[in-house]
Amino acid sequence: MPLVTPPILAFQKLLNSSIVALLLGSTAPVSTIPEPGISVAGTCQEARKPLFAVFGGGGAPSYNEIALEKNVLYFQRTLKAMGYDPKNAAIFFANGNSGEATVRYIDPSSGQQKFKVPQIPNLSGASSPDNLRRLMQQTAKQMQTGDRLFFYFTGHGGHNRRDEDNNVMLLWRDQPISVRQFTRLLDQMPQDTTFVAMMAQCYSGAFANLIYEGGDATRPLAPQSRCGFFATIKTRPSVGCTPAVNEADYRDYSSSFFAGLSGRSRTGTAVASADYNRDGRVSYAEAHAFAKVDEQTTDLPISTSEVWLQKDVTEKEADKILGQPIVQILPSARPEQRFVVESLARKFSFNLRESFLGNLRKLNQSRYGSEENQAYLIRLQSELVNISVEKQLRSKGDPAKTSDFDRILKCEGGSW
């Protein structure tokens, strides 16, 4: 199945051009899933620890794969590795503590499908809409100035074909929560607080609209500091929902993002440092950059700042950027962006003195035959566009737009 949709809608016409069409081919059908308490510590401002909330699991046993449960367990191990007590994270998963065997897995000894009871320490309850609303309302009441909430969703997503900016995450019993429904919960948070989302579901890129009031991109940025990181763009499914039990074989955004953030893979091995600006900590943005290079899948990871930058890019602008020598684009790149460009260019033996399109013309077809390599090339071209559009934004001298963008960047530059 050919890989198709680029990270920005403005690329769609460009990708139908004679050059890039050689790489991506025709549009592939997308499978659509049918839509259907945190304790706040009172410490000093800078030392206040982030709050953590996790919702995960499938909407029903038939697609409540064990990989989703293992993602939650890896998240808890990541917390511990970074000096946080996993008991302080609010965890809601599938059917919760009802005792039903709802987690689907393949028994390695027999190869047969089986089901088991969720086994997640300190599980707070089911991943129901009611629990999500209660948690967010309670947290909003408890949060104080300077508090930060990190929200992780590892589950399934639904594709809203009528409005792709309002896709859904599917909670237990196939109950959908849309972008706008979710964002209205965030609107209740105090103004001087920060919300960071990491969402790994299919079509998750639509949730980048959580930066706006009510989740509506036609409205202003929310008064709170909000940002997010997503496994893939709003028009594509993501990977990682498997009933296989061997975590060493897992390749997905959650695995790569948390490995980059913590320096430890889900199997416990050390990974290369993602501290690309060498400031002694790994930011969310740096973990996201790590995932773009590390994740060997068809996912197209994207963040709120990247969606914000790309929303107004025209075909002509993208064509011009991708026709420039890569070496001329790199000087304005942030360290994590430079890492992505140089790493992915190296993967395909690109000459940095030539343009992306020039390199692409010379690329042997065998080098981009796999869907994974096609995804890597789309990630590279997207990064080049992001760097260039940000430079253009800053050179135009629009204080309001620059201020909005810098607010999002500051949020994405946070860390645990």
Instruction: Dump pLDDT digits (tens) for 316-339.
Output: 999 999 999 999 999 999 999 999
User: How much is the average pLDDT of 308-321?
Assistant: 94
- pLDDT at position 315, please? 87
Q: Which domains does the chain have, with CATH numbers?
A: 11-26+315-412 (no CATH), 51-307 (3.40.50)
The token duo for 320 is: 């011009």
pLDDT given for residue 38 in this prediction: 60
pLDDT (0 to 100) of residue 47: 52
Kindly state the DSSP code that residue 118 receives in the 8-state scheme: -
The pair of structure tokens assigned to 56 is 């995960």
**More confident of the two residues 265 and 48:** 265
What mean pLDDT is predicted for residues 141-156? 98
Q: Does the pLDDT of residue 8 top 70, yes or no?
A: no
379 pLDDT higher than 90:
yes
Q: For the segment 210-223, what is each residue's pLDDT rounded down to a tens digit?
A: 999 999 999 999 99
**Do residues 171 and 55 make contact, with C-beta atoms less than 8 angstroms apart?**
yes
* pLDDT tens column, 178-193: 999 999 999 999 999 9
Is residue 236 within 8 A of residue 203, CB to CB? The reply is yes
**What is the structure's pLDDT at 400?**
97
Q: Find the helix packing angle between 335-347 and 284-294, rounded to 10°.
A: 0
What is the rounded average pLDDT for all residues in the chain? 91
Quick: pLDDT tens for 389-415: 999 999 998 999 999 999 999 999 999
Given a cut of 60, whether residue 31 has pLDDT beyond it is no
Query: Residue 3: which pLDDT band, with cuts at 50, 70 and 90?
Result: very low
User: Which pLDDT does position 120 carry in this prediction?
Assistant: 99
What's residue 192's pLDDT? 96
If pLDDT is split at 50, 70 and 90, which confidence band does 364 have? Answer: confident
Torsion angle of C-alpha atoms 178, 67, 51, 288, degrees rounded to 10: -80
Which tens digit of pLDDT belongs to each residue from 85-117?
Answer: 999 999 999 999 999 999 999 999 999 999 999
Torsion angle (degrees, nearest 10) of CA 189, 218, 30, 201:
-10
Q: Are 282 and 275 within 8 A, CB to CB? A: yes
Contact indicator for 70, 85 with CB cutoff of 8 Å: no
Give the pLDDT confidence score for residue 365 in this predicted structure: 79
Q: How far is CA 77 from the centre of its chain?
A: 19
Report how far residue 143's alpha carbon sits from residue 166's, in angstroms, rounded to the nearest whole number.
27
Please report the pLDDT score of residue 44 as a whole number. 37
Return the pLDDT at 103.
99
Residue 40: what pLDDT? 47
Spatial neighbors of 108 by CB under 8 A, at least 6 apart, are 245, 246
More confident residue, 81 or 39: 81
- What is the number of residues in the chain? 416
**Amino acid 230: pLDDT:** 99
Region 37-42 average pLDDT: 50
Averaged pLDDT for residues 145-150: 98
Looking at the DSSP assignment, which residues form a beta bridge with residue 154?
Answer: 56
Q: Is residue 289 predicted with pLDDT exceeding 60? A: yes
